[in-house]
Structure 1
Amino acid sequence: MLDSNQILDIMNQTFMLALRIALPFLLISMILGIVVAIFQAATSINEQTLSFVPKLIAIVILLSVLGSTLLKTMQDFFVMILGLVAGG
């Protein structure tokens, strides 16, 4: 049986893992959104897809580059959780 300190530690690790996985995608999306918004303001182009397509392409590229690392991180965390559950 897990005590409350171990449960809080697992929750903390879970939130940190979620942050490590989501942060690169959120940052690249935010940076590209700002760059495209500045470009749209400078050129007076108000096309909705102009802000969506570069973000989508960048996220797909980032996923292809970091996908295996993120998957390995999630697998290690899952194995750790299974070890805690199975070990009692």
Structure 2
Amino acid sequence: MQETVFFDTMRQGLWIAVIISTPMLAVALIAGVAIGLFQALTSVQEMTLTFVPKVGAMLVVFWVSMSFMSDTLVDFFTTRIIPMIAGG
């Protein structure tokens, strides 16, 4: 295997990882900012208030975007990785 093929495959794999993780990270960021703003406005400093809603929102987004994530990974493996393994 040539170095260019290896590095191109690694670049594509990292880009797929970024695309797949974006929905969950965006929701975690938005939920964290909203909860932090709520805590700053109401002076409520409860640790579970930051953790539980953020995890709940991330679980909902994970459940909703699971088909997108699996389709993206399957497409990457069938178009890029499996032909490399087969020698094509």
Deviations 1:29-67 (A, max 9, x none): 011101100100110101111111111111111111110
TM-score (norm 1): 0.91
Amino acid at match of 1:49: T
Aligned match of 1:59: 58
- For the residue of structure 2 that corresponds to 1:45, the secondary structure is coil
**Superposition map of 1:28-43 within 5 A:** 28-43=27-42
After TM superposition, what 4+ stretches of structure 1 lie above 2 angstroms from structure 2?
A: none
**Residue 53 (structure 2) pairs with residue 87 (structure 1):** no
Q: Which runs of 5+ in 1 are unaligned?
A: none
CA RMSD of aligned residues (A): 1.1
Aligned match of 2:6: 7
* Offset, 1:10: 0.2
Q: Which runs of 5+ in 2 are unaligned?
A: none
Give the Cα–Cα distance (whole angstroms) in 1 for the partners of residues 84 and 72 of structure 2.
17
**Identity among equivalent pairs (%):** 37
* Offset, 1:78: 2.0
TM-score (norm 2): 0.91
Aligned match of 2:77: 78
Give the Cα–Cα distance (whole angstroms) in 1 for the partners of residues 58 and 50 of structure 2.
13
